[in-house]
Structure 1
């Protein structure tokens, strides 16, 4: 194993020991074990597939009443999922985890671009995680 691979594995261990990772992992497990939430997610996905199939039909074959009912059911199911306490906790933990990973990615990118690994510090205040919004810093 070379030094870069060894450092990457050590970083992976540090990430898995971080409280943000632990909170994310716990919230993910809570989501996965919430039977009602999983049923709602499956139902939501089925409704979306039916909606997509209905909207892909030729305009003369589309049933606008059916499409509107599907849209309403999709919205209701979406709100039910978003209001689930396990989903809310998961979303919050995921945002923290994503922010940590953006910071790690930016530091590595800065180092690969020749900046000092001990002093470089990414400015995440304006980073959306979407490279198209800033020109692609990472």
Structure 2
């Protein structure tokens, strides 16, 4: 095993010990165990598939009333899903986990581009995802 591989494996262990990691996996497990939420997600996905199927029909064969009803059903299911406490907790934990991983990725990229590993620490609060806006950080 190379020194870089060993360091990355240690980083993986450190990430798994971080509270954001444990919060994410706990929230994911709670989400997966929530039968009502999973039923709503399944119904949402089926409605989306029905909507997509209906929109792919030739214009003269489309049923505008059916499309409108499907849109309403999809919106209602989406709102119910997003109001579920387990989904809210999962969404928040996922955002925190994604932010941590973006920070890790950005620091690694800065180091690979010659920045001082002990001093480089990008301010991700202003990151738009478009490197042209700040000169490129990822």
Give unmatched runs, 5+ long, in structure 2. Answer: none
- How far does the alpha carbon of each residue in 1:15-51 deviate from its partner, in whole angstroms, 9 at most, with x for none? 0000011111100000000011011001100000000
Q: 2:58 — aligned with what?
A: 58
TM-score, L = length of structure 2? 0.94
C-alpha RMSD of matched pairs (Å)? 1.4
Task: Report the CA distance between 1:131 and its aligned residue.
Answer: 3.8
* 8 Å contact from structure 1 (residues 131, 137) kept in 2: no
Alignment: residue pair count:
137
**How far apart, in 2, do the equivalents of 1:26 and 1:101 lie?**
18
**How far apart, in 1, do the equivalents of 2:81 and 2:49 lie?**
17
* 8 Å contact from structure 1 (residues 54, 62) kept in 2: yes
Compared CA separation, residues 133 and 22, structure 1 to 2 (3 A): farther
Task: Report the CA distance between 1:137 and its aligned residue.
Answer: 2.9
State the 4+ residue runs in structure 1 displaced beyond 2 angstroms: 130-137
**How far apart, in 1, do the equivalents of 2:119 and 2:7 lie?**
18
Alignment of 1:8-19 (within 5 A): 8-19=8-19
Q: Partner of 2:121: helix, strand, or coil?
A: coil
Give unmatched runs, 5+ long, in structure 1. Answer: none
- How far does the alpha carbon of each residue in 1:55-103 deviate from its partner, in whole angstroms, 9 at most, with x for none? 1111111100000000000000000100000000001111111111110
